[in-house]
């Protein structure tokens, strides 16, 4: 299902009784019924917390992505697994950018040693979440991006859309139908040297195999998601020990980032009914589907896809209205300059600009995802 929000190129368990009920809302992008959990959405504008990550040679792409998704009301942790010089270049850019200094909401975290297919991806994600939880007490959703991602709508529009949603919805694509992954991901035992060796190397396989778990149900899905603060607090604190137990299990699981959060949320009675089975990304998997998303180019634009620099330029020009090297225009930034920039400590608040008018594609996607007739049927199945 296409998403107008972000693009990317590259035994049954008991279910708690639903507290959700159909409820009409008035919004510029919806004229139908959507599903609200525990009542209506809060009236205040949500704040988003981003993890933006990249690896060697992707510093320039990370800067471009940060400019495209930046908003003074949000929070950003940037991670680059690269040489000290490349890390320092990114840190210097963030430290010297006047807008970031004024709002103090962008942090370049120390470089963790990460193996792409190992559990260290989950570990560094949890590290970033812990930093965001410590840095601010009032963000609502966490969004993880990497250098292969790019927004398909301005932050003003995204914040406006999310303001109509209940704050307990977790957007995460998932399924318990693991198929071929049983023999390539679940049963093999892998070791990630990045857990103990500062020199980054690839994971390696042990000779032994293991059985499919019987004490919990496995779920898999793409590693790109939009998760609530409350669920991530549960993952960090683990007050019923499920997140810690599963973290130990996934230490020897290939590509654990494609299963850890999915399995935690769907095995938790507290959170399994908060899932929306979509990560709000647009990806092309090919036909037949490949193990990884396909690189995208200009020919995908009409389908609302992504990165190839020429395609990014077109997204900037036609969707974000963003000039080269500048931030995405919005209520806080117009005509290449900020509007009333003051320090966050003074309590400045920015209202999203309504300049982009209707939010049809994004609104239609969310209406479809939250349709009462299919919303529950797609949760943790």
Which stretch, 77-81, 288-292, 311-315, has highest mean pLDDT?
77-81
Residue range 150-175: average pLDDT?
91
**Which band of pLDDT confidence, cut at 50, 70 and 90, is reported for residue 242?**
very high
pLDDT number for residue 355: 41
- The answer to whether 72 touches 348, Cβ cutoff 8 Å, is yes
Express as a percent the part of the chain with pLDDT over 90. Answer: 55
- The answer to whether 353 touches 156, Cβ cutoff 8 Å, is yes
**Which band of pLDDT confidence, cut at 50, 70 and 90, is reported for residue 234?**
very high
pLDDT number for residue 368: 82
* Residues ≥6 apart with Cβ < 8 Å to 377: none
Residue range 60-76: average pLDDT?
95
**Which band of pLDDT confidence, cut at 50, 70 and 90, is reported for residue 287?**
very low
Judged by average pLDDT, the poorest of 32-41, 226-235, 295-304, 331-340 is 32-41
Closest C-alpha to 142, from 71, 75, 86, 63: 75
One-character DSSP codes across 201-266:
---EEEEEE-PPPSSS---B--S--EEEHHHHHHHHH-TTSHHHHHHHHGGGSTTGGGTHHHHHHH
What are the two backbone dihedrals, phi and then psi, of residue 252, each rounded to the nearest 5 degrees? -115, 30
Q: Kindly report whether the peptide bond that precedes residue 126 is cis, defined as omega within 30 degrees of 0.
A: no
């Amino acid at each position: 299902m296409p998403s107008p929000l972000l693009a990317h190129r590259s035994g049954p368990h008991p279910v708690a009784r639903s507290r959700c009920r159909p409820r009409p809302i008035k919004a510029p992008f919806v004229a139908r019924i959507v599903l609200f959990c525990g009542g209506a959405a809060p009236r205040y504008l949500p704040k988003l917390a981003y993890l933006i990550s990249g690896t060697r040679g992707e510093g320039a792409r990370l800067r471009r992505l940060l400019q495209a998704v930046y908003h003074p009301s949000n929070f950003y942790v940037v991670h680059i697994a690269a040489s000290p010089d490349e890390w320092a270049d990114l840190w210097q850019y963030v430290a010297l950018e006047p807008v970031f200094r004024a709002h103090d909401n962008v942090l370049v975290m120390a470089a963790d040693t990460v193996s792409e297919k190992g559990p260290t991806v989950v570990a560094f994600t949890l590290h970033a979440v812990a930093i965001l939880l410590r840095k601010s007490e009032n963000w609502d959703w966490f969004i993880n991006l990497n250098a292969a991602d790019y927004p398909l709508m301005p932050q003003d529009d995204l914040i406006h859309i999310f303001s109509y949603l209940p704050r307990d919805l977790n957007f995460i694509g998932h399924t318990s139908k693991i198929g071929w992954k049983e023999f390539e991901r679940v049963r093999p035992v892998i070791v990630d040297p990045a857990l103990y060796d500062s020199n980054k190397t690839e994971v390696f396989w042990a000779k032994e195999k293991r059985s499919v778990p019987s004490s919990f149900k496995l779920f898999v899905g793409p590693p790109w998601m939009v998760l609530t603060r409350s669920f991530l607090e549960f993952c960090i604190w683990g007050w019923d020990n499920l997140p810690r137990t599963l973290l130990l299990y996934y230490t020897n699981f290939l590509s654990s980032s494609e299963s850890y959060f999915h399995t935690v949320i769907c095995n938790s009675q507290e959170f399994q009914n908060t899932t929306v089975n979509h990560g709000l990304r647009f990806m092309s998997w090919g036909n037949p589907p490949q193990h990884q998303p396909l690189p995208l180019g200009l020919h995908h634009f009409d389908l609302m896809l992504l990165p190839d620099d020429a395609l990014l330029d077109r997204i900037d020009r036609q969707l974000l209205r963003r000039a080269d090297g500048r931030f995405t225009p919005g209520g806080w930034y117009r005509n290449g300059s900020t509007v009333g920039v003051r320090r966050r400590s003074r309590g400045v608040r920015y209202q999203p600009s309504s300049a982009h008018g209707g939010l049809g594609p994004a609104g239609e996607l969310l209406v479809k995802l939250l349709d009462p007739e299919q919303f529950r049927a797609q949760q943790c199945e």
